[in-house]
Amino acid sequence: MANDNLKKLIQKYRDEVDDYLGSVIGLYAFAESACWDETNKKRKTTSQYSIPHKFSDGEKDLTPDSAIQTDQDNGIIAEMKKHFNNEKENQFDQIKKYDTDLKGWWTTNGNISSHDLVLLCHLFSSVAAKDAYENWLNQKNLFKRNFAIVEFSYQDSGQKQNFVLRRMDGGKLSDDVHDEALRKTKIITPKVVENLFSKYKFYDADPPLFHTLILIYNYILPLLINQEDFEEINSKGKKSIETDAETIRNMLQDQFMPEDHYMTLPKLRWVVEALNFLVDIKLAAKLNGNKYNIIIGAPSKKDLYEYFVSKLLTSKKLKGKNRAVPGGQQELFNDSNGQ
């Protein structure tokens, strides 16, 4: 039974991360699709996008999940609702906030002639979204601009997967060629999807803790040690390093967000939560401010989800016996579980 509970918890955390990444890739895949010249089979030279992006409606700042400028006169605002919940109120009212002139486009004066509105959701919830939209219209609501619901999903292609985009009936985009491609179902090839997966890992919504945690452990901590220390880790098993949350946050942004993105992502709060988790499971010690002393160990033979969940459960058992996890630096290497 204990093993079953462990497996369920591991799968829960894994599913949460996969779910978040699905939303990230959905946003970037749609943006790439909108910027693609279907006729000439190349990226539109005047196109660009930002996920997320900040605008002003003249009174307040607005930050939609995605802003796409296909040329100097036309754009798209897209909101991600992967698991559309038709019991949740005001979802179309939220999109309605962007149904006005917005300042913040990549033009000389920040304005643009027109922009469309798009709701992105997964195949499994697209019908619910469409039904909710029709109910919203029946309540005498209306978008002044073109609006479309675009569903996304994966399609197996041999050993790889295509990413699929399809515009639901009842919607329309200004770009007739792109709109028709989406109406018929547009395929984003595995090569493009793999490129997006390797580059982009965040958007404005809070990620699961394990998402940030595993990125830090796999991609950031190894960069914080030199070759000599790395060799010492392989021979002795563990070494501690001192760093801070801001440094890790900046390194994550450099690796997993577009270059020169105006918004700092991941948010510092997400990184601090992940580092505090390492403290809870005795793989780090909290120092002054946002500084931490972190254990870097030889590669674990376990899957990282299993490794972290096992340590989390062990930590909870110790706390349940009034043996709180020590926070002092002197306790860092008193971990009998090893790597």
Which residues fall within 8 angstroms of residue 290, CB to CB, at 6 or more apart?
244, 245, 246, 268, 272
Q: What is the mean pLDDT of residues 35-56?
A: 92
Instruction: Give the per-residue pLDDT at 6.
Output: 85
Q: Is the pLDDT of residue 193 over 90?
A: no
Q: Is the pLDDT of residue 315 over 50?
A: yes
- 96-153 tens-digit pLDDT: 999 999 999 999 999 999 999 999 999 999 999 999 999 999 999 999 999 999 999 9
Q: Which helix (DSSP H) or strand (DSSP E) does residue 69 occupy?
A: strand 66-69
The pLDDT confidence band at residue 327, using thresholds 50, 70 and 90, is very low
Q: How many CB atoms lie within 10 A of CB 194?
A: 12
Q: Is the pLDDT of residue 317 over 60?
A: no
- Give this prediction's pTM: 0.87
CA distances from 268 to 138, 265, 287, 290, 310 (A): 43, 8, 16, 10, 26
| Side chain identity at residue 12, one-letter code | K
Q: Is the pLDDT of residue 28 over 70?
A: yes
- 81-93 tens-digit pLDDT: 999 986 666 789 9
- Looking at the chain, the whole-number percentage of residues with pLDDT higher than 70 is 86
Instruction: Give the per-residue pLDDT at 325.
Output: 38
Instruction: Give the per-residue pLDDT at 89.
Output: 65
Q: Which helix (DSSP H) or strand (DSSP E) does residue 243 occupy?
A: strand 238-244
**Could you tell me which residue, 92 or 195, shows the higher pLDDT?**
92
Instruction: Give the per-residue pLDDT at 40.
Output: 86
Q: Is the pLDDT of residue 300 over 70?
A: no
The pLDDT confidence band at residue 333, using thresholds 50, 70 and 90, is very low
- 207-263 tens-digit pLDDT: 999 999 999 999 999 888 865 665 555 555 677 889 999 999 999 999 999 987 878
Question: Is residue 337 packed enough to be buried (19+ CB in 10 Å), middle (13-18) or exposed (0-12)?
Answer: exposed
Which residues fall within 8 angstroms of residue 135, CB to CB, at 6 or more apart?
none
